[in-house]
Chains A and B, each alone.
Chain A
């Protein structure tokens, strides 16, 4: 198991095609344990595709992905192990509507980690406290607001005690007044030392929390920078253009 500061995700020369369309064109990234990396870039630039290759929701055609020393190949056992080490939070929450909040959170610990029910439920309750909705345990997702649903989704991912958390635009589907409650939870996670890879358009959050910013355009990494460097003195024209667009509205 990697220690603080050592690389936990290594991506080398990653390529992916959708048919003839070359979505990812040679991505190289290293993420160290405890790092918070924010990925931004224009819509359609391949950000989602990239983070989804890391837990094999998308297959890549060339290059290497190594998570905590495990090479991501077609071997099912590796895929299963890597998926249980990586938590993912989606833009559209993807909670299971037929299960209660508590059941949503305990399902994977019970069936993948084979934890005893009592322990899994105790952990789930603690996580709900952490995301500040302990009183919603027995409701169904459909009875919660968007912000609450996304916080349940975060708790569900955390219940597997992942080494890395992936966030794919976690606040894009939320009303403005709910964005803050989700970002607050993510801030707290970042402070606790969790390794996070976050795709987001929330530039305030990125500036405050990120250790590093990766800027994607047309399937390539165009710029990698510190938050200060990226926001105050972007090195590339494409990044300048992007920031101008995003700050303009």
Chain B
């Protein structure tokens, strides 16, 4: 029997291109094809309905008239620049981080540029149509869409601009010195947290540079942001302590051997704190408290926690005037810390036991082993779940409307109560949904990039 020499055998042709993809993924079998057509049909129908409404019927004046209040509540208009600056700073550093750890795909750039162009073109195109006869599409365009788009134009340009500038800076930093750029960016995030907080809150009296703004004037998207921001920043360390507390126990008291001038080194601070915490963990009562805390808060709805905090925080502090926003922040932080604790615990338990054994065998103390070996790995494992929880948290802030705070959703309801805008539910809820979606999607996109960048270091380990 003769056989063809291997070098003469050619690979069967591989079908490429959009058509082949469609065939393979959507029309492989008759059933697939039927499903594809039905689902696609329904989708197109719904989208067509939506757009037909959104660009020919919707009365967007409810948004344009209340634009400022939706974004910042009754935050003083002349102080709005402080908010703009905060947003710019955060977006800038987000862009820098993206440049260092992430990758910007061409499609994303097109989406960004396209998005910005729409906001520039629509108002410009409507310019000449201002005296179109009533009831025509042109009249609708200039009367309803153009004002909305021109109001959104500046914020969108600010966001996209800062993001892209940041990205370029991050790329440059990465090229110059990746390690140092990364470190400075992390420090930048840490420094930015208090800066943003004080920028928004202010601390001088009325004629100072940053006059204090009472939290009862924070509202709309600003309030949503600040609630989520403060709660995320605060619940994260609390959740880690709870997780470690829950997993602690059965070991010996540790001593903090302070090296000279230890107070100059933040790592040593952390070290001292965690030794203290771990020694507390030797008492089973602490472990028990952590378990009770976690299980209890995971067992009640957030709304009840908001209500309770609203009643109990003033009682506990003996002060009835504790500001409502602070109460909400405390409630949200305490509630979410329980979830973060369980996520972190899951990460810790997912580690192979050999990691802790190797750390012990090298003579690392349990605190050092936690700080340098198990916790960093556990957090990296937990990133997707953690970010998922942060997104949930961002959306959960909308429940504060129940304790009469006016976050983005709460303020929408008071807008709807105005005589002029009764019945404009669709417009306002569509707007609110899009705002929530943009930021939630941004967070989960960032998390995916972060995961991918970390994965090089955590590749398979035998």
Interface residues of A (CB under 8 A from B): 55-57, 74, 76, 80, 83-84, 86-88, 90, 92-98, 107-108, 111-112, 114, 140-143, 146, 149, 153, 156-157, 160, 173
B373 beta carbon closer than 8 Å to chain A: yes
Closest CB in chain B relative to A16 CB, distance in Å: 17
Known: A57-B357, A80-B363, A90-B357. A97 touches B459 (CB 8 A): yes
Does the CB pair B252–A55 fall under 8 Å?
no
Does the CB pair A98–B358 fall under 8 Å?
no
Closest CB in chain B relative to A104 CB, distance in Å: 9
Within 8 A of A (CB), among B424-462: 456-462
Tally inter-chain residue pairs, CB-CB below 8 A.
88
Does the CB pair A83–B354 fall under 8 Å?
no
Q: Indicate with 1 or 0, residue by residue over B411-428, a CB within 8 angstroms of chain A CB atoms.
A: 000000000000000000
Q: Indicate with 1 or 0, residue by residue over B342-371, a CB within 8 angstroms of chain A CB atoms.
A: 000000000010110111111111001000
Q: Which chain B residue lies CB-closest to A173?
A: B462
Q: Contact partner of B254 among A56, A76, A107, A153, CB < 8 A?
A: A76
Q: How many Å lie between the Cα of A107 and that of B360 in the bound state?
A: 12
Q: Which chain A residue lies CB-closest to B365?
A: A80
Q: Which chain B residue lies CB-closest to A166?
A: B361
Q: Contact partner of A141 among B253, B360, B372, B461, CB < 8 A?
A: B461
Q: Contact partner of A88 among B361, B457, B458, B461, CB < 8 A?
A: B361
Given A80-B365, A83-B360, A95-B358; 4 other pairs, CB 8 A cutoff: A56-B360, A98-B377, A108-B362, A112-B364
- CB-CB under 8 A from B462, the residues of chain A are 92-93, 146, 149, 173
Q: Which chain B residue lies CB-closest to A174?
A: B462
- CB-CB under 8 A from B368, the residues of chain A are 111-112
- CB-CB under 8 A from A94, the residues of chain B are 352, 354-355, 357-358
Does the CB pair A108–B459 fall under 8 Å?
no
B259 beta carbon closer than 8 Å to chain A: yes
Known: A76-B253, A111-B364, A141-B461. A96 touches B354 (CB 8 A): no
Report how many residues on chain B are interfacial, defined by Cβ distance under 8 Å.
Answer: 29
Does the CB pair B252–A74 fall under 8 Å?
yes
Closest CB in chain B relative to A15 CB, distance in Å: 21
- CB-CB under 8 A from B461, the residues of chain A are 93, 95, 97, 141-142, 149
Known: A76-B253, A84-B363, A160-B362. A111 touches B372 (CB 8 A): yes
Q: Indicate with 1 or 0, residue by residue over B207-230, a CB within 8 angstroms of chain A CB atoms.
A: 000000000000000000000000
Q: How many Å lie between the Cα of A92 and that of B359 in the bound state?
A: 14
Does the CB pair B460–A57 fall under 8 Å?
no
Interface centre among B252, B352, B362, B456 (most CB of A within 10 A): B362
Closest CB in chain A relative to B356 CB, distance in Å: 9
Closest CB in chain B relative to A65 CB, distance in Å: 15
A-B complex: 6 closest residue pairs judged by Cβ atoms: A142-B459, A84-B363, A94-B358, A94-B354, A108-B362, A88-B361
Does the CB pair B362–A140 fall under 8 Å?
no
- CB-CB under 8 A from B357, the residues of chain A are 57, 90, 94
Known: A93-B462, A140-B457. A108 touches B364 (CB 8 A): yes
- CB-CB under 8 A from B354, the residues of chain A are 90, 92, 94
Known: A142-B457, A142-B458, A143-B459. A96 touches B358 (CB 8 A): yes
